[in-house]
Structure 1
Amino acid sequence: MSRLDHRLGEQIVRFCGVGFNVIEWICRWLGRRRVEVIATSDVRAKMMRDSASHVLVDVRSAAEHSVSRIPGAITQAEYEADADSLAGRRVIVYCTVGGRSYLYARKLVSDGIDAVNYQEGILGWCRAELPLESPGKRPTAEVHPYWRIFWVPDRYTVKT
């Protein structure tokens, strides 16, 4: 992947961030509850400190989470199938660059659920060089970054 491709990927990440911030501003202007954003360091700290108080939900496609996920995460389908037993826990939603996770977090917040958007997503997790796990919960260095133009550190193997 060329450096130009990675720069394009970074521009897409920035554009998505701006776009969803505008949507959030409009929602707030219309009187809707705010969707908070959580940083990589805070997600990691919460997972290490008290995993029982929150649930990490991966809203990426089946192809993406069949490669890897953030340790301890469950899929959107798993969350929805078990939502009653997970009630009362803060839902941390993530995808690749924060768009799909924002939309799902927005839905959850609108439904009265305590949800936040981990906007940095799997890219932010990898850029912090944090561990990933396979669907079988084994450590892995493979990641599906949605598009190859999204840069991840060399320690990860890109699978698309």
Structure 2
Amino acid sequence: MKYPTLRLVALFAFVVPVLLGVSPAPAQFGGFFGGPKIDTISTDDLHKMLVQKQQSEAKAREAGKPVPLADFVVVDVRSEAEVNVSVIPGAVTKAEFEKNAEKYRGKLVIPYCTVGGRSGAYAKELVAKGVKVKNYQGSILKWVGAGLPVVTLDGELTNRVHTYSDRYKIPPKYEQVTR
């Protein structure tokens, strides 16, 4: 038998916990072996949701009615340096989301980052807390790849996009920021 120690480790790591009714592998191995399945949202679907939200808010304002609350929230999980450059219109920062968690209770949470890795990890944290989540896989790079607008935290249109690293490329109509 080749590698008997490895087989023994596999037995203790996977079989014994299952027999005990627990599954420590995802926690012990950083989610390498899975964890909860996280649904994703496409750029088109996210864009449609944001446009519909904006249109219903504008109609309410025109009619002098209260602005309806959306049943979702888009959360930018990038660093402060990144979000200070630009965000997807309508997004809130992770800090704002967590500070006002009660305001967003029961809503679909759509996290994003640069490409979807950090937002995917955050989505798993939220799912573990019972939050309904769809990760925006591809994140802001996919958003600008589709030629969609980005704004500053003050809501002003901008063409600047923080890409975390210069290894990522964005369309020429945007200004790439890495620091």
TM-score w.r.t. the length of structure 1 is 0.79
Does the C-alpha gap of structure 1 residues 38 and 25 become closer, same or farther in structure 2, counting only changes over 3 Å?
farther
Structural mapping, 1:43-122, within 5 Å: 43-50=46-53, 52-122=70-140
Match in the other structure for 1:147? 165
Listed as ranges, the gaps of 5+ residues in structure 1 are 1-22
Post-superposition Cα deviations, 1:88-141, rounded to whole Å, max 9, x if no partner, equal 110000000111000000010111000111011000000000000012110000
Identity of aligned residues (%): 41
The 2-side partners of 1:80 and 1:58 are apart by 11
Asked whether the equivalents of residues 141 and 157 of structure 1 are also in contact (C-alpha less than 8 Å), the reply is: yes
Superposition CA RMSD, Å: 1.4
1:26 alignment partner AA: G
Does the C-alpha gap of structure 1 residues 154 and 133 become closer, same or farther in structure 2, counting only changes over 3 Å?
same
The 2-side partners of 1:97 and 1:39 are apart by 13
- The higher-RCO structure (CA 8 Å, 6+ apart) is 1
Shift of 1:25: 6.3
Post-superposition Cα deviations, 1:26-76, rounded to whole Å, max 9, x if no partner, equal 22xxxx4x2101111111011112471100000001111000000010010
Does the C-alpha gap of structure 1 residues 45 and 24 become closer, same or farther in structure 2, counting only changes over 3 Å?
farther
Partner-residue secondary structure (3-state), 1:26: coil
Could you list the runs of 4 or more consecutive aligned residues of structure 1 that deviate by over 3 angstroms after TM superposition? none
Are positions 1:26 and 2:71 aligned together? no
Listed as ranges, the gaps of 5+ residues in structure 2 are 1-30, 55-69
Match in the other structure for 1:42? 45
Which structure shows the higher helix fraction? 1
Asked whether the equivalents of residues 54 and 89 of structure 1 are also in contact (C-alpha less than 8 Å), the reply is: yes
2:144 aligned residue (126, 143, 157): 126
1:129 alignment partner AA: G
TM-score w.r.t. the length of structure 2 is 0.71
The 2-side partners of 1:131 and 1:144 are apart by 14
Shift of 1:145: 0.6
1:37 alignment partner AA: T
> Between Structure 1 and Structure 2, how many residues are aligned?
133
2:118 alignment partner AA: R
